[in-house]
Amino acid sequence: FGVAAFVVTLMVLIPAASSAGTYDYWQKIDKNGEQDVSMVDSLLGVLNSSVKIEMLVFLVGITAFMALRSPLTLLIVPTLGWRLLSQDSNHWGMVWHYSAILMPVLFLAMADGVRRSRGSHRPW
């Protein structure tokens, strides 16, 4: 039922509510402006983009990098993955709301990381 509801929403309801009569985000898939971009180029673009690297540093830096000590941080990988691979530059930075969904998980990971660091023999 869930898959059928998703398809009906995406293919019927959203286009019906749109002034253009289409789902506007289809055009954002596999596009970088007007240029086609391969998956390899998208992956390499993550490493070559200072904005994307800055976003990663800000996300873990806000937790004093303690979130990296927790396996809970792995929960943000899917959301972070689509943001980093997206060709929409609004998804990369810290200006819009896209990081809000990640922050509760990162703060829980930070608390877990602090707990783990107290029991660790490592000085860092």
Looking at the fold, whether 25 and 80 belong to one and the same domain comes out as no
How many domains does the structure of the chain reveal? 2
Looking at the fold, whether 49 and 63 belong to one and the same domain comes out as yes
> Which has more confidence, 23 or 74?
74
Confidence class for position 124, pLDDT limits 50, 70, 90: low
Looking at the fold, whether 17 and 3 belong to one and the same domain comes out as yes
Domain that holds residue 80: 37-124
What's the pLDDT at 62? 95
Looking at the fold, whether 73 and 83 belong to one and the same domain comes out as yes
Looking at the fold, whether 87 and 41 belong to one and the same domain comes out as yes
pTM of structure? 0.69
Looking at the fold, whether 28 and 65 belong to one and the same domain comes out as no
Q: Is the confidence at residue 115, as pLDDT, over 90?
A: yes
Looking at the fold, whether 64 and 105 belong to one and the same domain comes out as yes
Looking at the fold, whether 10 and 63 belong to one and the same domain comes out as no
Helix H or strand E encompassing 31: strand 31-32
Looking at the fold, whether 113 and 56 belong to one and the same domain comes out as yes
Looking at the fold, whether 114 and 60 belong to one and the same domain comes out as yes
What's the pLDDT at 105? 97
Residues 98-124 as b or e (16 or more Cβ within 10 Å = b): bbeebeebbebbbebbeeeeeeeeeee
Looking at the fold, whether 71 and 97 belong to one and the same domain comes out as yes
pLDDT tens digits for range 14-52: 999 988 888 877 766 555 555 566 667 767 777 788 899
CB 48 within 8 Å of CB 40: no
- Chain mean pLDDT for the chain: 86
